[in-house]
């Protein structure tokens, strides 16, 4: 029978333990060793496997809490820990120590992939003082289950890294009363989704008193309260519509993460974007920079535009220009299907009131989200809107940046793909969250006490670490995983109704001494979890070898609506349930942060075999790498740019094969061959002391090479130096004198658009290099500008080696110089002297693009005038 109502009985925390409660309430302290020691002493078993101190306090027996309150040494430890951690919040950190450097350039060039070392440019505290990070989910810790996977876990790591570095950032999201879902598999391996209601009182957050946010949702006034979670010094505010002021339907807007269909999705995204901006205003926060983590939060741009129009009296065009520089959009999907698209009738239902309030037509609004190549005014694309209304856009790995430029090329048809304004900031992971205690201790001794922010030079010291010490750490992590897996397997069996005797086999599952491979991620079809099963006999031979045994631990959830993903999961579950493999191939149900922490630390090899290039980044492999785990992966996402032969293994990708099934078979064969011929022999190659010396050498090389690159502090420094600071500076510049620069920029854009039809490259010419062995050739271009001024444009020469089809390769772009003595009547002459440092076939072209101090990229107007391509055979300058 079902209960008509459920509730949580929460233990009373005795007054002497109030410091313990306060430590538990700050999610930024969970990875601090002082807090870890405190909670481990309180309940070692729960802490090792769950790491949810507020949950531990909520369900701990009153007898145990009273006993701890009567223990003077524990009370003293709790008090001193709280005092030390509180003092640390005021300690100046990287941002405070390095913010007074020279201003960042605003030319918008490059891919934004500076080293983020902290030695680069900055703009000082007078400019960058606050950033708001908007995300539909935040995976900060198990104590706050408001995430579904990689997007949310990245957001959580972003906040924790901002705390470590002292970056003035706040988080804005939604509180989902049923979270994502918890996973159970039935006896047939089919996924069951459970949605237990979360009790905020038992979680690491508190209500914000006396604040109610009101937003219009399809003509209804919908109210939201705020919950606040603290991540070190970083506040995270979550909006919640389950309040008495709302009717039953509106109370369910924040019921589930990614629940329901398009209607529920647009309601949540309106609440996140528009409601989030209003929440910040109610809290008295006025951020200068708004980071949009995926297009789900994109509607915040519309609320900022509305505020500018109503509060500052700006026009629609002026408000767009005034708000654009302060918005940074991070796209996470490499496939068009992953983008939110809303039909016209749904947009009209929810935004006709917005249009009426700001005085713009509905078609003008739809144009913001119009994806070129689709019917005008029918579909609103959230990513395209964010691209148009953000001053900067980035992918989450270099390869993903390139794929994103290709995917959104139709938004800027006049520009070449390589020049599109989509940079890349490769993700990083918060090391202290994901690295085991033993590995962290090793880093503190061998690298730096503050190893997450250690320099590349300091990380190289890990290569001198003792082989036996490193192997002891790796073995300890594997043993912890084996013990954890056995406990979970037993529990999973009992939950399915099996008897104690039927689950007794779990006590012997896995072997603490065997090579252990990990595979855990969302069960989307492109991630190909079943690639391992493509040759069952070969897999059995690998797993059941008596000389070099291998075992595989897998985990992951399929989206409730993803039936193909569920079928993949059932296929894995069936294989793991077979009597001959169940000790060597196990599936851990209900993959979450707690499971991930044990998994990424305890395996020896992290396997990743997505269909390239569909993995945006794939940070789970980073978490494993920081634990001394070697990656064996398709060259996709982050691994594409960081792989080296001495740090792991690259599975060849058969992208030339159009038949997906044939491609899967080819890549599966390659993967199994790498395991058989390289990975397994290397692991079991031991010296006289039983140490795998060559394996450990590769682990050390991986840590030395990857450590400083994949830690989230590198990512955050890169965002601050290359994106946040320039955004704050540009925003401040446009806001000067009551936004007069923004208004002037709009007037300039209108003049450019009116006069652009008269702009053209009339002709170009060049002189041969000067004599035998010459190295210089002058290019001259005749330019028509019509009514525009030379200061309105940049005449650019693009040159480089050419392929047989006249395509420029590795082109360089330079600004040509006006020639006051040249040019036919009505035209202007521009020149540039090319220098050649090698022989070969070269080519060039010339173009004219708009130029203005407040335009960071020609993509702002998507206007380019190209030199005409000759119809006859091409000419080439002779090489030296």
Query: Of 243-257, 301-315, 404-418, 634-648, which range is least confident?
Result: 404-418
3-class DSSP assignment, residue 626:
coil
Q: What whole-number distance in Å separates Cα of residue 394 and Cα of residue 747? A: 28
**pTM for the full predicted model:** 0.93
CB 179 within 8 A of CB 593: no
Omega of the bond leading into 834 within 30 degrees of 0 (cis): no
Per-residue pLDDT tens digits for 345-360: 999 999 999 999 999 9
Q: What whole-number distance in Å separates Cα of residue 372 and Cα of residue 357? A: 27
- Chain-centre distance of CA 61, in angstroms? 39
Task: Give the other-Cβ count within 10 Å of 58's Cβ.
Answer: 18
Q: Where are the beta strands (DSSP E) in 385-462?
A: 392-395, 423-424
Half-sphere exposure of 245 (CA within 13 A, CB side): 13
Q: In whole angstroms, how large is the CA radius of gyration of the chain?
A: 29
Q: Name which of 846, 161, 255, 699 is nearest 452 in CA terms.
A: 161
Per-residue pLDDT tens digits for 59-99: 888 888 999 999 999 999 999 999 999 999 999 999 998 77
Q: Name which of 328, 362, 336 is nearest 347 in CA terms.
A: 362
Q: Which residues contact 696 (CB under 8 A, 6 or more apart)?
A: 467, 470, 471
Q: Which residues contact 134 (CB under 8 A, 6 or more apart)?
A: 171, 172, 173, 272, 273, 276, 290, 291, 292, 293, 297, 300
Q: What whole-number distance in Å separates Cα of residue 757 and Cα of residue 678? A: 62
By CB atoms closer than 10 A (0-12, 13-18, 19+), residue 135 is buried
End-to-end CA distance of the chain: 89
How much is the pLDDT for 120?
A: 43
Per-residue pLDDT tens digits for 488-534: 999 999 999 999 999 999 999 999 999 999 999 999 999 999 999 99
Q: Name which of 285, 198, 286, 279 is nearest 242 in CA terms.
A: 198
Residue tagged 């400083």 (tokens): 708
How much is the pLDDT for 101?
A: 52
Q: What whole-number distance in Å separates Cα of residue 35 and Cα of residue 23? A: 7
Mean pLDDT of 716-734: 95
CB 766 within 8 A of CB 813: no
Bridge partners, 343 (sequence order):
379
Task: Give the other-Cβ count within 10 Å of 757's Cβ.
Answer: 10
Per-residue pLDDT tens digits for 383-414: 999 999 999 999 999 999 999 999 999 999 88
Bridge partners, 797 (sequence order):
814, 846
Q: Name which of 172, 288, 279 is nearest 236 in CA terms.
A: 172
Residue 112 has pLDDT above 80, yes or no: no
Between the alpha carbon of residue 261 and those of residues 44, 236, 264, 347, the distances in Å are 42, 27, 6, 14
How much is the pLDDT for 23?
A: 94
Between the alpha carbon of residue 130 and those of residues 99, 112, 117, the distances in Å are 13, 20, 21
How much is the pLDDT for 5?
A: 61
The angle at the Cα of 548, spanning 542 to 554, to the nearest 5 degrees, equals: 50
How much is the pLDDT for 102?
A: 41
φ, ψ for residue 696, nearest 5 deg: -65, -35
Per-residue pLDDT tens digits for 26-55: 999 998 999 999 998 988 877 877 778 888
Mean pLDDT of 244-261: 93
Q: Which residues contact 244 (CB under 8 A, 6 or more apart)?
A: none
Query: Of 234-248, 373-387, 857-871, which range is least confident?
Result: 857-871
How much is the pLDDT for 10?
A: 64
Q: What whole-number distance in Å separates Cα of residue 76 and Cα of residue 154? A: 35
How much is the pLDDT for 770?
A: 59
Q: Where are the beta strands (DSSP E) in 460-562?
A: 515-520, 550-555
Mean pLDDT for the chain?
Answer: 90
CB 103 within 8 A of CB 123: yes
Residue 124 has pLDDT above 50, yes or no: no
pLDDT class of 611 with cuts at 50, 70, 90: very high
Query: Of 211-220, 608-617, 772-781, which range is least confident?
Result: 772-781
Percentage of the residues of the chain whose pLDDT score is greater than 90:
78
Q: Name which of 857, 864, 860, 855 is nearest 760 in CA terms.
A: 864
Q: Where are the beta strands (DSSP E) in 195-304?
A: 206-207, 213-217, 220-231, 234-240, 289-293
How much is the pLDDT for 697?
A: 97
Percentage of the residues of the chain whose pLDDT score is greater than 70:
93
Cα dihedral sign for 728, 729, 733, 734? negative
Task: Give the other-Cβ count within 10 Å of 857's Cβ.
Answer: 18
By CB atoms closer than 10 A (0-12, 13-18, 19+), residue 235 is middle
How much is the pLDDT for 43?
A: 84
Per 3-state DSSP, the chain is made up of helix, strand and coil in percentages (nearest 5) of 45, 15, 35
- DSSP class of residue 118? S
- Chain-centre distance of CA 861, in angstroms? 28
Question: What secondary structure, in 3-state letters, does 733-766 show?
Answer: HHHHHHHHHHHHHHHHHHHHHHHHHHCEEEEEEE
- Chain-centre distance of CA 746, in angstroms? 33
How much is the pLDDT for 105?
A: 38
Q: Which residues contact 353 (CB under 8 A, 6 or more apart)?
A: 216, 219
Residue 106 has pLDDT above 50, yes or no: no
Q: What whole-number distance in Å separates Cα of residue 393 and Cα of residue 292? A: 9
Q: What whole-number distance in Å separates Cα of residue 542 and Cα of residue 548? A: 8
Per-residue pLDDT tens digits for 298-355: 999 999 999 999 999 999 999 999 999 999 999 998 887 789 999 999 999 999 999 9
Q: What whole-number distance in Å separates Cα of residue 581 and Cα of residue 575? A: 7
CB 25 within 8 A of CB 206: yes
Both tokens of residue 724? Answer: 């946040």
Residue 119 has pLDDT above 50, yes or no: no
Residue tagged 């599952």 (tokens): 509
How much is the pLDDT for 109?
A: 35
Q: What whole-number distance in Å separates Cα of residue 880 and Cα of residue 769? A: 7
CB 130 within 8 A of CB 168: yes
Per-residue pLDDT tens digits for 820-833: 765 556 789 999 99
Q: What whole-number distance in Å separates Cα of residue 875 and Cα of residue 880? A: 16
Helix axes 300-312, 316-323, angle to 10 degrees: 120
**DSSP per position, 289-330:** EEEEESGGGTTHHHHHHHHHHHHH---HHHHHHHHGGGEEEE
φ, ψ for residue 218, nearest 5 deg: 55, 45
How much is the pLDDT for 868?
A: 87
> Kind and range of the H or E element at 729?
helix 725-755
Between the alpha carbon of residue 20 and those of residues 15, 25, 41, 66, the distances in Å are 10, 9, 12, 13
3-class DSSP assignment, residue 367:
helix
Q: What whole-number distance in Å separates Cα of residue 45 and Cα of residue 678? A: 37
How much is the pLDDT for 421?
A: 93
Residue tagged 């047939």 (tokens): 188
Q: What whole-number distance in Å separates Cα of residue 27 and Cα of residue 593? A: 13
């Amino acid at each position: 029978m079902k209960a008509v109502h459920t509730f949580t009985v929460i233990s009373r925390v005795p007054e002497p333990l109030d410091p313990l409660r306060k430590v538990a309430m700050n999610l930024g302290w969970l990875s601090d060793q002082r807090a870890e020691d405190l909670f481990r002493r309180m309940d070692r078993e729960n802490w090792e496997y769950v790491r949810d101190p507020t949950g531990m306090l909520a369900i701990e027996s009153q007898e145990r809490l009273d006993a701890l309150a009567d223990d003077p040494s524990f009370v003293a430890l709790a008090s001193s820990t709280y005092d030390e951690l509180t003092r640390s919040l005021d300690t100046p950190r990287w941002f405070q120590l390095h913010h007074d450097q020279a201003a960042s350039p605003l030319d918008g060039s490059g891919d934004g992939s500076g080293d983020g070392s902290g030695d680069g440019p900055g703009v000082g505290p007078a400019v960058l003082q606050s950033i708001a990070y908007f995300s539909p989910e935040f995976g900060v810790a198990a104590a706050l289950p408001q995430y579904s996977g990689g997007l949310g876990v990245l957001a959580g790591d972003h906040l924790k890294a901002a705390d470590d570095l002292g970056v003035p950032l706040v988080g804005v999201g939604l509180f989902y009363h049923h979270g994502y879902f918890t996973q159970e598999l039935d006896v047939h391996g089919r996924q069951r989704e459970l949605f237990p209601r979360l009790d905020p009182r038992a979680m690491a957050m508190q209500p914000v008193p006396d604040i109610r946010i009101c937003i219009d949702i399809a003509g209804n006034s919908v109210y939201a309260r705020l919950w606040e979670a603290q991540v070190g010094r970083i506040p995270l505010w979550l909006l919640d519509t389950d309040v008495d002021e709302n009717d039953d339907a509106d109370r369910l807007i924040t019921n589930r993460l990614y629940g329901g269909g398009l209607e529920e999705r647009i309601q949540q995204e309106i609440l996140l974007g528009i409601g989030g901006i209003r929440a910040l205003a109610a809290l008295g926060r006025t951020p200068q920079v708004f980071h949009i983590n995926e297009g789900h939060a994109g509607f915040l741009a519309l609320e900022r535009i509305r505020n500018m129009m109503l509060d500052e009296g700006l026009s629609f065009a002026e408000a767009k220009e005034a708000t654009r520089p302060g918005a940074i959009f991070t796209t996470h999907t490499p496939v068009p299907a992953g983008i939110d698209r809303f039909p016209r009738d749904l947009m009209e239902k929810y935004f006709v009131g917005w249009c009426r309030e700001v005085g713009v037509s509905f078609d003008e609004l739809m144009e913001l989200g119009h994806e070129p190549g689709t019917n005008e005014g029918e579909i609103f694309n959230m990513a395209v809107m964010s691209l148009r209304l953000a001053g900067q856009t980035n992918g989450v790995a270099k390869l993903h940046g390139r794929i994103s430029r290709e995917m959104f090329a139709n938004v800027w048809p006049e520009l070449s793909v390589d020049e599109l304004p989509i940079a890349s900031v490769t993700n990083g992971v918060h090391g202290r969250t994901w690295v085991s205690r033993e590995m962290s201790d090793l880093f503190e001794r061998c690298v730096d006490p503050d190893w997450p922010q250690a320099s590349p030079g300091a990380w190289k010291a890990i290569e001198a670490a003792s082989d036996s010490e490193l192997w002891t750490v790796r073995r300890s992590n594997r043993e912890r995983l084996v013990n954890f897996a056995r406990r979970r397997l037993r529990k999973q069996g009992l939950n399915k109704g099996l008897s104690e005797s039927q689950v007794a086999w779990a006590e012997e599952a896995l072997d603490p001494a065997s090579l252990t491979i990990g595979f855990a991620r969302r069960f989307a079809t492109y991630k190909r979890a079943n690639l391992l099963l493509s040759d069952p006999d070969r897999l059995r031979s690998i797993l059941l070898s008596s000389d070099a045994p291998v075992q595989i631990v897998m985990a992951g959830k399929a989206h409730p609506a993803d039936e193909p993903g569920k079928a993949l999961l059932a296929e894995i579950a069936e294989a793991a349930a077979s009597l001959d493999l169940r000790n060597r191939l196990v599936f851990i149900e209900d993959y979450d942060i707690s499971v991930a922490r044990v998994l990424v630390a305890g395996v020896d090899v992290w396997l990743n075999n997505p269909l390239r290039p569909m993995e945006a980044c794939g940070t789970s492999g980073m978490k494993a790498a920081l634990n001394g785990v070697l990656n064996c992966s398709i060259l996709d996402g982050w691994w594409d740019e960081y792989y080296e032969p001495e740090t792991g293994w690259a599975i060849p990708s058969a992208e030339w094969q159009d038949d997906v099934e044939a491609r899967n078979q080819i890549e599966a064969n390659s993967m199994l061959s790498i395991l058989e011929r390289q990975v397994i022999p290397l692991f079991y190659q031991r010296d006289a002391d039983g140490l795998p010396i060559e394996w450990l050498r590769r682990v050390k090389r991986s840590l030395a090479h990857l450590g400083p690159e994949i830690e989230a502090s590198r990512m955050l420094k890169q965002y601050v130096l290359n994106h946040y600071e320039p955004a704050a500076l540009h925003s401040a510049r446009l806001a000067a004198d009551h936004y007069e620069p923004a208004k002037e920029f709009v007037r300039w854009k209108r003049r450019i658009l009116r006069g652009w039809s008269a702009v053209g490259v009339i002709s170009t010419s060049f002189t041969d290099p000067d004599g035998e062995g010459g190295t210089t050739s002058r290019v001259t271009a005749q330019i028509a500008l019509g009514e525009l001024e030379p200061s309105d444009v940049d005449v650019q020469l693009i040159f480089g080696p050419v392929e047989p089809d006249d395509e420029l390769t590795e082109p360089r772009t330079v600004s040509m110089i006006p020639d006051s003595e040249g040019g036919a009547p009505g035209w202007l002459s521009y020149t540039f002297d090319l220098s050649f440092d090698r022989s070969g076939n070269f080519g060039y072209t010339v173009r004219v693009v708009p130029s203005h101090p407040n335009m960071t990229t020609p993509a702002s107007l998507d206007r380019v005038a190209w030199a005409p391509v000759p119809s006859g055979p091409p000419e080439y300058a002779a090489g030296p």
